[in-house]
Amino acid sequence: MKKINSLKELKKLCKTDYREFFIAIGPILRTSKTILYIPGEDLFVINHEINGSIEELTTKEIMDPGITNIGTAITRGAFYMY
């Protein structure tokens, strides 16, 4: 597992194919996601494994805590790639 330290790193890892990530919630809980980044559109496609929902977010939206917790997890050191 690899800790994701920045949005730039996330973009680099996801720009060629979907990658599997998780947000660590405490010592034993996690929420899994698969993410693809489309550079030409500056768009993230996120598949939430917990319920199968898919959402598309811009770079600005992915860092907005009012929209998703991914940016907060990256900032707090709780976002990892499997």
What are the beta bridge partners of residue 68?
none
Per-residue confidence (pLDDT) for residue 28, from 0 to 100: 86
- Among 25-29, 46-50, 59-63, where is mean pLDDT lowest? 25-29
Tell if the pTM clears 0.75, that is, is over it.
Answer: yes
User: CA 75 to CA 53: how far, in whole Å?
Assistant: 24
CB 79 within 8 A of CB 35: no
Tally of structural domains, the chain:
1
Report the SS3 class of residue 31: strand
Q: In terms of Cα–Cα distance, which of 27, 5, 2 is closest to 74?
A: 5
Give the range of the structural domain holding residue 22, as residue numbers without chain letter.
2-81
pLDDT in tens, 16-47: 899 999 999 988 899 999 999 999 999 999 99
pLDDT at res. 26 = 83
pLDDT of residue 15: 94
Per-residue pLDDT for 66 more than 90? Answer: yes
Dihedral, 63, 10, 46, 2 alpha carbons, nearest 10:
-120
